[in-house]
Structure 1
Amino acid sequence: MEDLLKLENQICFPAYAFSRNLTNLYRPLLAELDITYPQYLVLMVLWEHKQQTVNQLGEKLYLDTGTLTPLLKRMEQKGIVSRIRSKQDERIVMISLTTSGIQLKERAKHIPLELLKCTNMSIDELLQLKALLNKVLSK
């Protein structure tokens, strides 16, 4: 039982360390766009889906509204997204891209390939890792 508590036997630690390292690789690339990693995630969802409610974004990004709302407010202040309350239900806030947010997509196109260069993994290995992580996240 004692061996179960060794750091080297934990799955959480390499997952945590990998996540931190990956986020750190993104940092200089995203700094050029003046956005953070969580903002980049929101943008990727909106580039694909155009408009989402706060709850829809939260589901896709595994973030609660308490985390997402201040993030979206900062993005709105930067002029990247707009937040509009639904006329049918004031509790629902619709998030969509502004022209600036749409234009960021072109400036961000190089990021995935730049990140790939920073890893010492093949595309196939990264796809396998992604599949395994998605399996764990799907519960």
Structure 2
Amino acid sequence: MGDLSELESRCQQLGLRVTANLRDILEALVTGPDHPDADSLHGWLRSRGRRVSLTTVYRTLGRLVAGGFVIAHHFGSGKARYEIAATHDHLIDISTGKIIEFSDPRLDALEERIAAQMGYRIVRRRVELYAVPTE
């Protein structure tokens, strides 16, 4: 994913002002809980002594999502879950809520081929598989 200074540079390129709160939220997205919602992100920050309000967390996440830097996922839990924008897909274990990231070039190629056969080029994609364990 890159180090925090690289992420901060990308934010600046998007026209975002890099504040202490933005740095803290970026750090939390990289090293904190996996696919956090805003409440758990806020709790993680507070547990590490960061003084940031929940309103600031929501506002900063909104700016990062609007800039395309962070993706807000809606995995059916009712709350948006966040991560740094990346190129991978998700398998969601509906019995536990666990989110597993994966990527497979064969799937990417199949989607590109299907789109091309229909006369389209994919510009954005999202794959979410909802599953239960087989055992």
Structure scoring higher RCO (CA < 8 A, sep ≥ 6) equals: 1
Greater C-alpha Rg: 1
TM-score, length of structure 2 as denominator length: 0.42
Answer 1 or 2: which has greater strand percent. Answer: 2
TM-score w.r.t. the length of structure 1 is 0.41
Structure with greater helix percent? 1
